[in-house]
Amino acid sequence: MNTVRKILVPVDFSADSANGLIYSVSLAQKTQAELIVLHVTQKNEADAFLDLVAVMEGAPMLNRPAGIPVDRLLREKALDLYHFIEKVVRNPGQVKIRRKVALGNKTEKILGVVKDERIDLVVLAIRKTSFFPYLMTRGRLLRMISRFPCPVLLKPSFDEPWPTSGIIGSSIFAR
């Protein structure tokens, strides 16, 4: 019998990823699986943050400030991830939750963690308003999912109903 021992949930600190995390925790509780919460960050996020701080402090932007060191960026994102999990997951029960922060291409880093950790299930929180156009026009999500060696569960947001019109049309949702 196939059992789920490790669940990976990538988060980006959005409300949608919070919903995916809540769902993943409940799933991990039911299956007694270990939960790995992954945040993948980009170096340009740190540079944009430094630009904002410089402007707020009134520093002239003639010379671009030196970038934040990568190790400091990863430490700060790890702390952000810790606080995000604490805020979202009120009662984890007996679920073992591990945090990971990676720097680089989101797809490649998620795929790397899936392979390195031998993940049994990936839970991806999706944004409903942009999911179908994103899937139909670019297909990046579908290509990413097809590369995973394990099942992927797409978790829509709790708050809003699925759209009833648009590219797909309302006939699919009316059944």
Sheet holding 97-103, edge to edge: 97-103, 34-41, 6-10, 121-125, 152-155
Residues of the chain with pLDDT below 50 are 1, 137, 162-175
Residue 165 has what pLDDT?
A: 44
Please report, for the chain, the start and end positions of each structural domain, with discontinuous segments joined by +: 6-42+76-155
Residue 34 has what pLDDT?
A: 96
Distance CA 99, CA 38 (A): 6
pTM recorded for the entire structure: 0.74
Q: What is the CATH number of domain 6-42+76-155?
A: 3.40.50.620
- Residue 135, exposed/middle/buried by CB under 10 A (0-12, 13-18, 19+)? middle
Residue 175 has what pLDDT?
A: 36
